[in-house]
Amino acid sequence: MASSSILPSTEVETPITSFSIDVLGESLTIHEQPQNVSSTGTKVWDTGVALSKYFEKNRHKLNLKGKQLIEIGAGCGLTGIVTAILGAHVTITDRVEVLHLIKKNVDFNLSGRENVGKVQVKELNWGVTDVKEFKPPFHYVIGSAQSQIFLDVLYQMESIDPLIQVLASLCDTRTVCLLSLEMRDQQIHDTFFQRVTDHFVVSTIPRAKQDPAHTSEFITIYQLKKK
Ligand SMILES: C[S@@+](CC[C@H](N)C(=O)[O-])C[C@H]1O[C@@H](n2cnc3c(N)ncnc32)[C@H](O)[C@@H]1O
């Protein structure tokens, strides 16, 4: 777990704002630091909201209770928190820069709440952190991101191979890997899907299974099954 002493000072000095969302009839408050430009993970993205609401809408079929789930590139931690409320044991990961926000949001929304899965918050920097320490495989591996040229670091070309390697290491053939993506850069989109299909069979979750109030025509949830 990160402590504030190892975080760059900008991480704790910019103002905190909050984002609210209802899950199972209760309001969650997710703290953000939108003026902190050290990471794209300091705000909640629509793709994370869409994935969270997909899990809520399909909770009976997916039955997350007791399942081992890891979220990569979690940002403020919304989807990890929602899946823990739905009963999964969740490892929420990102780069060290945003772990303080995730920890704050986990404490704020889950402390004292009953029937919640176990949650841990850990650094997982793709291509740097040794994935073996997470003891894969997981039942679920999840992630969400929007890609806009010059804005998002997630799907820049140099991140693609380390990201795919992390996904391949966290999954086995039974793992359900779900990625909620809004990719606006066609070249990055095409490269990611060309390369990911070396390891995974890719399908899309039918739009009808998403929550129409919390998605858009630009957001697709992809399911990856390891070959
Ligand atoms: C656009 S944000 C999405 C955050 C969150 N999933 C959401 O939908 O609100 C992309 C996230 O990926 C993380 N990320 C980018 N490159 C990464 C890397 N190499 N290793 C780990 N996380 C990374 C960023 O720190 C950021 O939190």
Contacts of 136 (CB under 8 A, 6+ apart): 70, 169, 170, 171, 172
> Domain limits at 196?
4-226
Q: Which residue has the higher pLDDT, 225 or 155?
A: 225
Backbone angles phi, psi at 70, to 5 degrees: -125, 135
Domain containing residue 172: CATH number = 3.40.50.150
pLDDT for 169-213, tens place per residue?
999 999 999 999 987 777 778 888 999 999 999 999 999 999 999
* Angle CA 219–210–162, to nearest 5: 45
**Torsion angle, alpha carbons of 155, 160, 166, 168, to 10:** 120
Say if residues 103 and 5 touch (Cβ distance below 8 Å). Answer: no
Contacts of 102 (CB under 8 A, 6+ apart): 74, 75, 76, 77, 80, 92, 94, 121
Number of domains composing the chain: 1
**40, 71, 105, best to mutate for ligand 1 pocket (most atoms within 8 Å of CB):** 40
Question: Which residue carries 């039974």 as its tokens?
Answer: 174
Poorest-pLDDT segment among 49-63, 64-78, 117-131, 144-158: 144-158
pTM exceeding 0.75: yes
Which residues form ligand 1's pocket by a CB distance below 6 Å?
A: 39-41, 44-45, 47-48, 73-75, 94-95, 98, 124-126, 144-146, 152-154, 159
